[in-house]
Amino acid sequence: MTAADTKAAGPPLTAADAPQGGPLAKQPPGAGRPKRKKGALLPYLLILPAIVALAAVYAYPLVKTVIMSFQDMGRRELWTGESPPWVGFDQFTNILGDPEFWRVTLRTVVFMAVCVVATMAIGLLISLLMMRLSTWVRLTLTTALIAAWSMPLLVASSIFRWLADSDYGLVNTIIAKFAGDDWLGHNWFLDPVQGFTVIAALVIWGAIPFVVITLYAALTQVPAELEEAAQLDGASAFGVFRFVTWPVIKPVFIMVTTLSVIWDFNVFGQIWLLRGNKPEPDYETLGLYSFSKAFTSTSFSQGTAIALITVLMLSGVAVYYLRQLMKTGEVE
Amino acid sequence: MSASTAPVKEGLRPDRKKTKLGYNVLGLVIAVVMAFPVYWLIISALRPNHEIRSYDQTLWPSSITFDNFARAVKQPNFGTAIQSSLIISITAVVGGMIIATLAALAVGRFRFTGRRALLMVLILVQMLPPTAMLIPIYAQLNAMGGLNEYWGVIVVYLVSTLPFATVMIRGFVVNIPVELEESAMVDGCTRMGAFRRIIFPLLAPGLAASSIFALVNAWNEYLFAYILMNEDSKYTLNVWLMTFTTERGTDYGALMAASTMIALPVVVFFMFIQKKMATGLTSGAVKG
C-alpha cells in the first residue's frame, strides 16, 4: 500500500523469482532447475483470467468504440446485424463543427471546475477542523460523513430531488419563510444555472466524505513536534499550514484533486436522475450528450465518437494521475 | 492519537478552551448538514402521506406510520427485484474476487515482465467514462442475445470489480511477510499448500473487506442494469426504484420508504468495512 511495504516485499522476490537473466547470473548453478521455470510461468497463469476478462469488457468495447466512430451505425444496423458503412472522419467533422458540441463541452468543463474547487476547498477546511475537535465531536462528524458516503447514488438523488421539489420540497418551504411566499412552487430546474446548483450540491455533498477522510488521514501524518516548533518560533497559523502541514499533505491533495477532476468530468447519474431520466438539452454534459445521441437519436456512431473525444480529453489527466501514483511508489 | 495530545494542548493557554468550543460547535453543525439528507430520507419514509404532500414541510413528523413501507412493498416486482439484485451482485462479486485474488497474488508476490503495465491498465480503465463502454457493450450483447439476460449484467459487474479489487487485495498481499510463506515451503508445503494454509487465512479480512466493497458497488449500480435489462420482471432494486416516478408524478413517501430499505444493508456493510479498512491501513503503517 505504501512505498515502504512494497519495497519490503520486493527484494527477496527479485532474487528468487526474477525470470530475467540479470540477477540469476550471481546465483549458484542450482537456480536453473526446472522448478524455477515453472515459477516464471506461474504469475502469467494467475493473471490470465483477469486479462481475458478485462480484454472482453474494457479493451474490446474500447476498440469497438474506435471502430464504430468511423462507421455510421444506426438502429437498422443494430437490429439486422448488417455491418455499418464506413464513413471515415465524417462523425468527427460533424461533431466538431456542431456549435452544440462546444456548448456542451464548455458546460461540462465549467461544471467540473466549480464542483472540484468547491469539493476540495470545503473538504480541506473540514479535515483541518477535524484535527482540532474533541474526540466525541470528531467521531460524530465521522459517522455523519460515512452515512452520507454510503448512500447509494440513486437514493441520494431521490432525496435531493425531493428536497428541491417545486411543490412539496423543504428547500422552498425554508426559503419562503425568509423571502416571502413567492418561493412556494418555485421550480429549480427551469433555469439551468439554478438546476445545476442543485446538482452541484448533490455532487459536492457526495464527494466530501471521501475527500475529508483521505485528507484527514494525511493530516495525522504531519509530525506534531514540527508544528509546535514552528509555533514556538513565531510562525502564524497560516505560516504553520503553508510551510509545515501543506508539504506533507500535498501529494495526497493532488491525487484526490486529480481523481475529482476525472469523476466530476464524468458526472452522469446525478444529472440524469435529478432530471427524471430524460434530461433537457440544456442539462446535457458530454456523457449525457453521447448517451442521448446513441440511445435517443439512435445514432450509435455519433455517441461513440463523442465518447471517444471525451476519453482523449481525459487521457491527459489520467496520465498525470498515473505519474503521481508512480512518484509515490504506488505502482512499484 | 489526538485524544492523548488534546488535553496537553488545552493546558497550554487559557483561551484554548474557548477556541476548542467554537471548533466543536462548527464540527457539529457540519455533521448535521452532512447527515441531514439521510435524516430526511428516514423521516420522510415514516411520515404520513398528507404531510409529504404539504406546502408546509416540517422538520419533525406529527406521527409515525409504516403506510409508506406497505405501499413500497406492494409496488409490483418488489420480490423479483430483490431476487435479481441478489443473484447479480453475489455472482459477480464471487467470480470477481476469485479472479482478482489470483491476479493480486501474481502482482504482489512475483516480479514479471508486464507487471507494472498490468497495474497501470487496472488504474486507467477505472477512469473511462461509462458511456464509452455502454454503447459498444449494448451493441455487442444485443448481437449475442445477452440483453435482458442476467449473465450480460453479471459479466459487466464482475469485470468492473476487478480493477479496484486487484489493487486492494494486492495491498493486503504485500503486507503478509514473504518469510512466512517461505518457511512453510521449507517445511515441506507445496506452493499451493503454503497459499491455502498460510496466505489465505491471513488474507481473509482483506478479502472480506474487498468483497463487501465490491458488493456495495454492484448493489448500487443502476445505469448498466437500466440499459441492459428492459423486462419489468428482471429489474434490479435500483431500476425498480425508478418505477415510483410515473407520468403523473412521484410517490415520494413510498419512494423514500423503498430507498430506506435499499440503503439500509449498504449503510450497515459500509460501517462494517470502515473498521476493517482502518485495521488494514494501520497494520500497513505498523509494518512500514
Question: All 3 cell numbers of residue A221?
Answer: 501524518
- Which domains, from first to last, does chain A contain? 3-80 (no CATH), 90-327 (1.10.3720.10)
Helices (H) then strands (E): counts for chain B: 14, 2
pLDDT of A107 reads 96
The answer to whether the CB atoms of B123 and A140 lie below 8 A apart is no
Closest B-chain CA to A140:
B31
Instruction: Answer whether A65's CB lies under 8 Å from B132's CB.
Output: yes
The answer to whether the CB atoms of A49 and B103 lie below 8 A apart is yes
Q: How many CA atoms lie within 13 A of A68 on its CB side?
A: 32
Angstrom distance (rounded) from CA A225 to CA B112? 42
Beta-bridge mates of residue B246: B249
pLDDT of A227 reads 87
Beta-bridge mates of residue B257: none
Compute the mean pLDDT over every residue in chain B, rounded to the nearest whole number. 83
Closest A-chain CA to B55:
A168
The answer to whether the CB atoms of B6 and A54 lie below 8 A apart is no
Sign of the Cα torsion B168, B171, B176, B182 reads positive
Closest B-chain CA to A55:
B159
Contacts 24+ apart (CB under 8 A), A308-313: A308/A65, A308/A66, A308/A69, A308/B132, A309/A92, A309/A95, A309/A96, A310/A265, A310/A266, A310/A286, A310/B129, A310/B131, A310/B132, A311/A62, A311/A65, A311/B128, A311/B129, A311/B132, A313/A265
Angstrom distance (rounded) from CA B140 to CA A257? 35
Residue with cell 527479485: A14
pLDDT of A40 reads 79
Angstrom distance (rounded) from CA B155 to CA B140? 13
Amino acid at B85: S
Which of the 8 DSSP states describes residue A283?
G
The answer to whether the CB atoms of A47 and B103 lie below 8 A apart is yes
- Cβ-nearest to A318 among B26, B124, B191: B124
pLDDT of A7 reads 34
Percent of the residues in chain B that have a pLDDT greater than 70, as a whole number: 89
Quick count: other Cβ atoms within 10 Å of Cβ B122? 23
Q: Which of B17, B43, B68, B112 to mutate to test the interface with A (most CBs of A within 10 A)?
A: B112
Amino acid at B149: E
Sign of the Cα torsion A19, A22, A25, A27 reads negative
Q: Which residues of B touch A152 (CB under 8 A)?
A: 219-220, 238, 259, 262-263, 266
The answer to whether the CB atoms of A148 and B37 lie below 8 A apart is yes
Q: Which of residues 58-97 of B touch A (CB under 8 A)?
A: none
The answer to whether the CB atoms of A50 and B102 lie below 8 A apart is yes
Average pLDDT estimate for B150-179: 88
- Which domains, from first to last, does chain B contain? 2-65 (no CATH), 70-287 (1.10.3720.10)
pLDDT over threshold 90, residue B246:
no
Q: Which of residues 239-268 of B touch A (CB under 8 A)?
A: 241-242, 245, 250, 252, 255-256, 259, 262-263, 266-267
- Cβ-nearest to A304 among B135, B140, B281: B135
- Cβ-nearest to A131 among B2, B171, B178: B2
Average pLDDT estimate for B123-152: 86
Q: Which of B128, B251, B286 to mutate to test the interface with A (most CBs of A within 10 A)?
A: B128
Which of the 8 DSSP states describes residue B55?
S
A146-A147-A148-A151 Cα dihedral, nearest 10 degrees: 110
Q: Which residues of B touch A62 (CB under 8 A)?
A: 128, 132-133, 136
pLDDT of B184 reads 86
Angstrom distance (rounded) from CA A84 to CA A309? 21
The answer to whether the CB atoms of B140 and A57 lie below 8 A apart is no
pLDDT of B97 reads 94
Q: Which of A5, A264, A290, A312 to mutate to test the interface with B (most CBs of B within 10 A)?
A: A5
Residue A85 Ramachandran class (φ > 0 left, ψ -120 to 50 alpha, else beta): beta
Average pLDDT estimate for B3-9: 46
The residue that leads in pLDDT, A43 or B56, is A43
Angstrom distance (rounded) from CA B87 to CA A244? 51
Among A121-125, A231-235, B75-79, B176-180, whose mean pLDDT is lowest? B176-180
Which residue, among A268, A274, A311, has the nearest Cα to A292 in the 3D structure? A268
Strands (E), chain B: 245-246, 249-250
Angstrom distance (rounded) from CA A292 to CA A302? 10
Q: Which residues of A touch B131 (CB under 8 A)?
A: 268, 287, 290-291, 294, 303, 306-307, 310
The answer to whether the CB atoms of B34 and A147 lie below 8 A apart is yes
Q: What is the ipTM of this complex?
A: 0.80
Angstrom distance (rounded) from CA B56 to CA A104? 37
Q: Which residues of B touch A321 (CB under 8 A)?
A: 123, 127
pLDDT of B282 reads 37
Decide: residue B28, CB within 10 A, 0-12 exposed, 13-18 middle, 19+ buried: middle
pLDDT over threshold 80, residue B54:
no
CB pairs under 8 A between A and B: 322
pLDDT over threshold 60, residue B206:
yes
Q: pLDDT tens string for chain A (332 positions)?
A: 333 333 333 333 333 343 443 443 444 444 444 444 455 788 899 999 999 999 988 888 889 889 989 988 888 887 787 788 898 888 899 999 999 999 999 999 999 999 999 999 999 999 999 999 998 999 899 989 988 888 888 889 989 998 998 888 889 888 888 887 778 888 899 999 999 999 999 999 999 988 998 888 888 888 888 888 998 998 888 899 999 999 988 888 988 898 899 889 989 989 988 988 888 889 999 999 999 988 888 888 999 999 999 999 998 898 888 888 787 766 65
Dmax over Cα atoms in chain A, in whole Å?
89
Angstrom distance (rounded) from CA B157 to CA A82? 29
DSSP string, B113-133: TTHHHHHHHHHHHTTS-HHHH
